[in-house]
Amino acid sequence: MDEQAKREFKIDFQPAIFRSHIEPEGRLPSSHPLEASAAWYFCKCAHQSIESLEAQVSYEGDTDVTVSLRSLADNIRLQYGIDDLNEMMKFIPVCKQEAERVGLPWNDKLDTWWQTGGSLQDEVTRDPGKLNID
């Protein structure tokens, strides 16, 4: 492929900065918009993953589905070009405040995962009481 063709096919990924959730409108700090937006995106994706696990049906003998929040966080960190995961994750408490401000639901399992440093409960599994096992 010649140089001109390479330039024409170049993809420049720009991570989403959630301006409506950043100060002064929102709670996310304007001093770190990239890291705070990455944390906000992680929280939204993690919440959706946790909620979808609880809605799934598991049958005896099937491997239970889990979601690794650590892997999800690492993938989002890479998408946003953030070197240190802690630089993104330190904004989770602020993301919770922002979710409350805009009326979005917040799953307590995400709080538990964050409070344990993201390591003791890396994989969030379905609540056994919500499984439909005959």
Give Cα separations from 114 to 30, 54, 101 (angstroms). 22, 19, 20
Amino acid at 131: L
Residue 64 per-residue DSSP state: P
6: pLDDT strictly greater than 70: no
> How many CB atoms neighbour CB 54 within 10 A?
15
State the pLDDT at residue 126: 46
Mean of the per-residue pLDDT values for the chain?
78
| Domain edges within the chain | 33-55+65-118
State yes or no: pLDDT of 9 exceeds 70: no
CA 73 from centroid of its chain's CA atoms: 6
Q: Which residues contact 5 (CB under 8 A, 6 or more apart)?
A: none
C-alpha span between 21 and 116 (Å, rounded): 26
pTM over 0.75: no
Q: How far apart are CA 107 and CA 100, in angstroms?
A: 11
